[in-house]
Amino acid sequence: MQITPQLTIPFTVPSPGGPIPRSANLFLVIGKDIILIDSGVRGCENAIFDYLQSLGRQSAEIAHLILTHAHPDHIGAARAVMEACACQVAAHGAERDWIEDVAIQERERPVPGFQTLVGGSVVVALELKDGDRIVSEEGVSLEVVHTPGHSSGSISLWLEQEQAVFCGDAVPLPGDMPIFTDYEASVASLERLRALEAEWLLSAWDEPRHGDAVERRIDEALQWLELIRRTVRDVARQSFDGDALALCRQVVPLLGLSPFAANPLVARSFAACL
């Protein structure tokens, strides 16, 4: 069995203020067959397939594509991957609708350039829940850990053999745009990840953390969430008339965030702190 170093694929999100640089971290667990964790945005399939070819492997060997949640930077290339290898797509049931009909997601959670980021809908063949296991041909077992907050159906994957957890976007990055729908659930998910006492924390938007750095990273995320909540509530006590975006515009500079963060998705996160 081999776990790839994170396959980091850059992309940009168009916005009225100009393109916003982002990147997606994908992971492959490679044995007799291959498990791909998240697909990145539309077009990322080319980098995935090229990487496998460099290892002497083929895209057709991908048996499972596990989606940690339904956001564009995780499902954007899922359709192309599935069409190339007929793999089994797996995700939490709470994310199914947005994966199987991306038009619903675009309508309910519009982001700039959605159609350039998402290559199409894909059928979720395996609906996951907390405690489920996905097992490869040679017995590699990934346990599903439900870690909601970033989204209601966000999952992490615990690879006990390596004491590694693939956490998707469950661990927010201090100083980056905070994206979550449920503050309390986010905190509870971080506490649950810390309780795993993992040796490796493998995130979709951060560098790999190892050893003592795992707990430090989770503690930093908890402190960042608490700072966000405290700041949002302080501002809201002084002036909040129900306009979440106006509140967001006031809070963003206080947290040292980029002006790009004054957007509806971050406004939704701040509203969850109230």
pLDDT digits (tens, 9 = 90+) for 166-182: 999 999 999 999 999 99
Q: Which two tokens stand for residue 68?
A: 């940690």
| Neighbour-count burial of 56, counting CB atoms closer than 10 A to its CB (0-12 exposed, 13-18 middle, 19+ buried) | exposed
Which whole-number Å values give the CA distances from 235 to 240, 248, 274, in the listed order? 7, 10, 11
pLDDT at 42 over 90: yes
- For residue range 51-61, what is the model confidence (pLDDT) as tens digits? 999 999 999 99
pLDDT at 5 over 70: no
Beta strands 126-128 and 88-92 are parallel
Distance CA(188)–CA(167), nearest Å, equals 14
- Contacts of 214-217 with CB under 8 Å at 24 or more apart are 217/171
In percent, the amount of the chain with pLDDT more than 90 equals: 84
Which whole-number Å values give the CA distances from 100 to 81, 118, 141, in the listed order? 15, 12, 26
Helix (H) or strand (E) holding 126: strand 126-128
* Distance between start and end Cα atoms, the chain: 45
Distance CA(177)–CA(168), nearest Å, equals 15
Task: Tell me what pLDDT residue 3 has.
Answer: 73
In percent, the amount of the chain with pLDDT more than 70 equals: 98
Q: What is the pTM of this model?
A: 0.95
Structural domains in the chain, CATH included, are 2-211 (3.60.15.10)
Distance CA(57)–CA(97), nearest Å, equals 32
Distance CA(30)–CA(26), nearest Å, equals 13
Query: Where residue 136 falls among pLDDT bands split at 50, 70, 90?
Result: confident
Mean pLDDT of the chain: 94
Average pLDDT (1-24) is 79
Distance CA(30)–CA(245), nearest Å, equals 44
Task: Tell me what pLDDT residue 64 has.
Answer: 96
Distance CA(8)–CA(207), nearest Å, equals 10
